[in-house]
Structures are given as structure tokens and as C-alpha cells.
Structure 1
Amino acid sequence: MEAEGSKKARVYEVDELLKNLKLSEAEREGVFLAKEDRESLPEVKWMAVGRLLTVRGFSEQSLEKTLRAAWNPAREVSFRSIEQNLFQVQAHCVGDWNRIMEDGPWLFRECAFMVEKFYGATPTPSVLPNRVQAWIQIHRIPPMYRTEAILKQLAARVGEVDRVEAKVVSFGNGYFHRARVKLTADKPLPRVVTFTPEGCESMMFVVMYEKLPKFCNFCGKMGHEHMECGTGEYAGTDLQFGNWMLASEASWHPSTPRVHWEKRRQESPSYELWTGWEGLGGKSSFEKMPPWKRNSGEAGLDNGKGNALEDSATSPLKPLLEGVEKSADKTGAQRHLNLNDVDLALVAIPLPPP
């Protein structure tokens, strides 16, 4: 591992050195490629560049392993480092390519791995990956304005629109429309979109996000948390963004891989401000979910009795053997059970298989 890391560091150092070299005329002349020869070159297919949206260091090996497991490719996918936190990814069939490019966001330690197409005409891309794919929900659009054209305009206020779903989705006591967008990584996440029909009052529609990477509750940008933003010292009223902006898992698009999201959403400092509005998919609507979609505590199955791990391994004979007494013989080396008070006829003991 150390040798591989040192090798990559040397490559980065050489690249920096080449930028400062004074080249001779012979070195500058090089090889010329005519336009017609360039156009006849074979197309580089299914290649992309990726970058992890984070301010922290990370293990490239762990990132690659996690992504390969998430992509679950049908054929080999090449993954190599171009420079620090910039990777070249190439699929070898269209199915793997579509999954990598369309089924994100791909998360590694709650940080987004952003991917963009790369045509391979330069050693490194001229534009670095800077967008995160996500499904968004726009809540409570009145029936009159539920046209595809208006939905696209509203979704475009959040990010670059890939597609919109005109069908209204009912959830809890509310409803929303869903759109697939690409969010700009270095801009705050929009919390609402404002809509103003001519001659009418403005309306604000709340935006909820499905499966987002971590983001800052202070500045609203993805890739870091508020305690890593500036000095990180902010009052509760300064945190104008929060995990309340995350939609409940039960309302996600069917194609989105599920994760344990409710805990993160409800840990937001601003969560309590929104639990009263059932249309947002907050606490009220989450509590209306059927028990099989919730964990035992949320479904009311624990009833607050004891530790969840208490008596996790027990015997079916235990209730019948409550009165069993243990005693030692004269040497104290042997023990026996007093089963006088137990009706063994009530105990169904299965016979071993033949």
C-alpha cells in the first residue's frame, strides 16, 4: 500500500515539474496529427471521470472497493487514479455504463462520487465532475399547474433537469411530483421554489431530496458538515438547512437503493420545525406507515420494555423450568435439576432425525 501511494505521489510531482520546464525547439516540434487522421480514430466508449465530493482525506482502495460493490457490474470495469481525487472509469458493456451514469448518487462514507463523461482526448478532463444526480420531490403543486412544462420549469430552479414525472404521488396526507436532476455541488441546495402566475399571489413549493450525500446545515452546500464550515461555531438559529430536507425512505423512487435514512433525517437540529406538516413526509406521515415498513420501536412493538438485546437467546423450556432448583452433591463437583414440579408431558421435545 505504501509503495503504491509513493508511486502515485511521484507521478503527481513529475506532472508539476513538466509545467515548469523550459523546452527546446526539438522538444516543442513533436508529432503533428492531421484533422482527417484524428477523425478516423476509433471512438473511446463508455469512459467517465469521477471525483469524490469531500474535504477530507480517504483511502482510494476503499473507495474503489465500495463502488465496485455498489455497481455490481456484469463485466469488468476499469478504475484507475489520474491524479489526486480524480479517477478514470471505463465500462465494457452498455448495461454497466448506464447503471454507473444514471443510477446515482453513489455514496462513499456519505460523500457523493460524481461522474461525468470523458472522451479521452486529453490526459485530464478540462471540466472536473461537479454535479450530483438526485431525485427531488416538489410538494403541493395545485392541480391547475401540474403540466409537464411547468414541472420542468420548477425542477430547473433546483438543478439541471434530466426528466420529470407528471404523475402525482400521494404520501401520508400530502402529495408531490418527482423529478430527476443534477445538482451543482458548489451551490446551496434550494429548499423551496417560488411560483408566480401573472395576476396571482406567489406560491412557495417545498423541495425534498431523496438519498443525498451529507451537506452543511449552515451554508447548504454538499460535501461537508456545518462543524467543518468556517469555524463551525454556529447557533441553532444559524442552521437554516437540515436533514428535514431529506424525504422519507418510504416515499423514494422505486429504483433508488434503500439505506437507513430516517435516523439521519430525524437527527437534524431543524427537524422538529417540520414534523407537524404531514405533506412533507415528516414525523406525522412516517408514523402513519404500516408496521412492516418501520422498525419494531417505531411500530410500537417494543412497548418500552427492557433492553432490545435482553434475553435475545432463550429456551422454549425456560418458562416451564422457573421452579427448577440446583443443588450440589457431597463433593460439590456435580449438579442436578429438580424437575419434580415440572409437568414434562406439556413439553414437546422433537425427536432427532433418523
Structure 2
Amino acid sequence: SAIRWPLRRMPSRPRAAAANPTLEEFFDQLDLNDEEFNDVDIDEDPGIKESVRWLALARVHTEKNFSPSAFYKDMRVAWNPAQLVRFRPVGPNRFVVQASCLGDWERIMTQGPWLFRNMAVLLCLYDGFSRAEDVVFVHMPIWLQIHKLTDPKENIVEKLLKGAGEIMEMRLNGNTRGDYVRVRVNHDIQQPLTKFVSIIRAREHQVYLVRYEKLARFCKACGLIGHEHKE
């Protein structure tokens, strides 16, 4: 009878690693212990704390190309800072802005909205260490006016503007330039602008016009900031 030789089992080849493993997959494959890290506590380092003070991220809300140097120049003119304001690009249409004093910082962050070539400039606080491209900021503080609203009450105005954004400040009286109330809201640029508000009084529907101060380019068809209706 024929001799049957035992079959030799070939050693299995290791599975090929993913061609482009993600950062999370890479760290999952590592066996790291806490004692292997040499952490730097930035809260305890005065030098690092000083370097990240008065930092913000800025973004021009547009898909169009523009000159960063022109943006820096126009913003310095608009902010009129008392001391140096530094700019640094950190990604497509993203810039780190750093003020040198508290007065300039408060003006930059609280006295907007700011415009560059009639386009909205969005700002948010920045810690200096997070990935700039991962930071999502879509809100723009802006003043609006409700005209011809007789005997305005704070609770009524809040209900009228519940879809306009978070109310940051409200001035119901003292507007000597007209019979309107001024309200500062944190507008989400992903949502359309509020064009009018309405109430029902004595079974009568009353509509009140909403106007905006320093409004950036917006679409009269869809109400979104960032483009015109012809675009």
C-alpha cells in the first residue's frame, strides 16, 4: 500500500495591518500604563498659561477665497486695539487671534458682530491646545430690533424671539431713535434669520417687523447668512 506522509501545517501569516490606521486604532493597539506618560500640567505652568491667555478662534463665514493679510488689516482697523493683536493661520479659513490686554480682548469678543467685506466673522474662545479644525462654532451675537411693539414686556419679547437664538441682552426702553426694542441674540448661522414676529390680541393677528444691526451678507430667499439670493 502507498505510504501516506503526514501533512505539514504551514505557519499562519500575520494579518496585514490596516494601510492607514486611525489614531484611535493606533492607541488601542498600544499597551500603555499611566506611569509611562510624562504629563505636563499646563495649569501649574505660569509660562504656558501666559502664552494661551486672551486667545480666540476666528473664521470668516464664506466659501470664497480671500487674502489673509487683508483680513488681518481690516480686523485691526475695526477693533482699533490699544495694543498688539496677533493673528496666526491654523487651517483653511481658521485663525488664532490673541489680544495683548484685557480691554482689547473684551472689545473683540463682546462688541461684535464683526464684518469682513460684508461677510460675518465668527469668534469663539480657544484654549490653544485643541485641534482647531475640530472646534465647531456657528454662533454670531447680533443686535435686532422689533418695531412698533406697543407696551413691550420682557416675557412677551422672550416668547416672540424663541426661534431667533439665545437672548443675551434686552433693552426695552430708552431707544430715543425710534419706537422699537433692542435685543441681542446669539444667532445660529445654520438657521434662517427671523424676519418678523407676530402676536394675537383681541382675536386680531398683529405682525411686527424685525430689523438687524450690522447685518452681514444674507439671502433674501432662504434667510441664511453667507450668500446672496443670486448665488
TM-score, normalization: structure 2? Answer: 0.76
Q: 1:151 aligns with which of 150, 157, 168?
A: 157
**Pairwise mapping of residues 307-322 of structure 1 onto structure 2 (< 5 A)?**
none
The aligned counterpart of 2:117 is: 109
Q: Secondary structure at the match of 1:226?
A: coil
Q: Is the 8 Å Cα contact of residues 157 and 193 (structure 1) preserved in structure 2?
A: no
* Contact 1:140–1:205, Cα closer than 8 Å, also in 2: yes
Letter in 2 for 1:166: L
Task: Indicate yes or no: 2:167 matched with 1:164.
Answer: no
Give 2:195's aligned residue: 191
Picking from 208, 211, 218, the partner of 2:211 is 208
Question: CA offsets per residue over residues 287-328 of structure 1, 9 Å max, x none?
Answer: xxxxxxxxxxxxxxxxxxxxxxxxxxxxxxxxxxxxxxxxxx
Between the aligned partners of 1:68 and 1:18, the Cα distance in structure 2 is 43
Write 1 or 2 for the structure with the bigger share of helix.
1
User: Which SS does the other structure have where 2:37 is aligned?
Assistant: coil
> TM-score w.r.t. structure 1 length?
0.51
Question: Cα distance, 1:108 vs. partner?
Answer: 1.1
Q: How many residues align?
A: 205
Q: Per-residue displacement from partner, 1:328-351 (whole Å, max 9, x unpaired)?
A: xxxxxxxxxxxxxxxxxxxxxxxx
RMSD value over aligned CA atoms? 3.0
Please give the per-residue CA displacement for 1:21-56, whole angstroms capped at 9, x wherever unaligned: 98586798883538xx46545544211101101121
- Consecutive unaligned residues in structure 1, runs of 5 or more: 1-16, 229-354
C-alpha change, 1:90 and 1:28, in structure 2 (3 Å) is farther
Whether the 8 Å CA contact 2:91–2:133 is kept in 1: the answer is no
Does the Cα contact within 8 Å between 1:158 and 1:189 map onto a contact in 2? yes
- Whether 1:74 and 2:82 are equivalent positions in the alignment is yes
1:86 is matched with: 94
The 2-side partners of 1:70 and 1:27 are apart by 52
Distance in 2 between residues matched to 1:154 and 1:168, nearest whole Å = 20
Counterpart residue number, 1:123: 131
Alignment partner, residue 65 of structure 1: 73
Amino acid at match of 1:213: A
Give the letter aligned to residue 218 of structure 2.
F
Q: Which residue of 2 aligns with 1:181?
A: 185
Q: How far apart in 1 are the matches of 2:154 and 2:133?
A: 35
Cα distance change, pair 100–156 in 1 and its aligned pair in 2 (3 A): farther
Amino acid aligned to 2:180: F
Tell me the percent identity.
35
Larger radius of gyration, structure 1 or 2? 1
Q: Cα deviations across residues 221-275 of structure 1 (Å, max 9, x unaligned)?
A: 11111121xxxxxxxxxxxxxxxxxxxxxxxxxxxxxxxxxxxxxxxxxxxxxxx
1:66 shift after superposition: 0.9
**Paired AA for residue 208 in structure 1:** R
3-state SS of 1:116 partner: strand
Q: In the TM superposition, what is the alpha-carbon distance from 1:151 to its structure 2 partner?
A: 2.7
Alpha carbons of 1:160 and 1:41: their partners in 2 closer, same or farther (altered >3 Å)? farther
Higher relative CO (CA 8 A, sep ≥ 6), structure 1 or 2? 2
State the alpha-carbon separation in 1 of the partners of residues 213 and 224 from structure 2. 16
CA contact (8 A) 2:112 2:142 kept: yes
Match of 1:221 in 2: 224
Per-residue Cα deviation, 1:189-246 (whole angstroms, up to 9, x for no partner): 110123346x754432210111111111221111111121xxxxxxxxxxxxxxxxxx
Say which SS state the counterpart of residue 172 (structure 2) adopts.
strand
User: Distance between the aligned counterparts of 1:202 and 1:117, measured in 2?
Assistant: 42
Following the alignment from structure 2 to structure 1, what is the Cα–Cα distance between the partners of residues 206 and 141? 26
Aligned partners of 1:168 and 1:175 also within 8 Å: no
Structure with bigger strand share is: 2
Q: Aligned partners of 2:167 and 2:23: how far apart in 1?
A: 42
2:57 corresponds in structure 1 to 49
SS at match of 1:120: coil
User: Distance between the aligned counterparts of 2:197 and 2:134, measured in 1?
Assistant: 32
Q: Whole-Å Cα distance in 1 between the matches of residues 106 and 216 of structure 2? A: 21
Q: Is the 8 A contact 1:168 1:176 kept in 2?
A: no
- In structure 2, what is the Cα distance between the partners aligned to 1:113 and 1:19? 33
In 2, Cα distance between the equivalents of 1:110 and 1:52?
Answer: 10
**For structure 2, which runs of at least 5 residues remain unmatched after alignment?**
1-19
Q: Quick one: structure 1 residues 224 and 38, their matched pair in 2 at CA, closer, same or farther if it must change by over 3 Å?
A: same
Whole-angstrom distance in 2 between the partners of 1:87 and 1:19: 26
Alignment of 1:207-286 (within 5 A): 207-228=210-231
* 1:140 aligned residue: 148
